[in-house]
Amino acid sequence: MARVNNINPTGPTTGETPPRAAPSPADPIPAAKPRKASRGGGCLPWAIGLAVLLAVFAIWKFPSFKAQAELGSAYAARVGCSCRYVQGRSLESCQSDFEPGMDMVSLSEDTATKTITGSVPLLASRSARYAGASGCLLHPDN
């Protein structure tokens, strides 16, 4: 005798899909469904916000950076000029007299006018000229 069940048949004739069987332990783990994009847009708004904050900070601090570069280049020019023309040392040995943290300041020499120029790239440049008995004098700002 055929078994009778009380469940309605499923399949293509009824338009219903049959229930899925529970995965067996030997079946691989199904891949996770991809996440929907969040309403906030992900990391892009945070990155734009951070870039704006950094730009505001740089604009706010630029006068301070410029002033420190002016001071460092003037100090380097004066010390470099005294070292080179008063003490008679080479320009390379004069750079060892700089204070720590002055790695960005570079020196250049004009032997015809006995002038040493200290410069910080893209920010500042100052020159000092050897004036005989008066020592080395900074050129006034332009």
| Enclosing domain of residue 74 | 57-138
Distance (Å) of CA 127 to CA 15, 27, 67, 112, 115: 90, 79, 16, 14, 7
- In the chain the first and final C-alpha atoms are separated, in Å, by 112
> Number of structural domains, the chain?
1
pLDDT of the residue at 117:
94
Q: Residue 97 above 90 pLDDT? A: no
- Whether residue 34 is contained in a domain is answered as no
- Whether residue 83 is contained in a domain is answered as yes
DSSP state of 114: T
Distance CA 35, CA 37 (A): 6
Across all residues in the chain, what is the average pLDDT? 81
Q: Residue 38 above 70 pLDDT? A: no
- Whether residue 103 is contained in a domain is answered as yes
Please report which confidence band the pLDDT of residue 43 belongs to, taking 50, 70 and 90 as the band edges: confident
Distance CA 78, CA 131 (A): 12
Segment 123-141 mean pLDDT: 89
Distance CA 62, CA 97 (A): 27
- Whether residue 50 is contained in a domain is answered as no
Per residue in 61-78, pLDDT tens?
888 888 999 999 999 999
Handedness of CA 122, 124, 127, 128 (dihedral sign): negative
Q: Residue 5 above 70 pLDDT? A: no
- Whether residue 86 is contained in a domain is answered as yes
- Whether residue 14 is contained in a domain is answered as no
Which one has a higher pLDDT value, 92 or 7?
92
- Whether residue 117 is contained in a domain is answered as yes
- Whether residue 16 is contained in a domain is answered as no
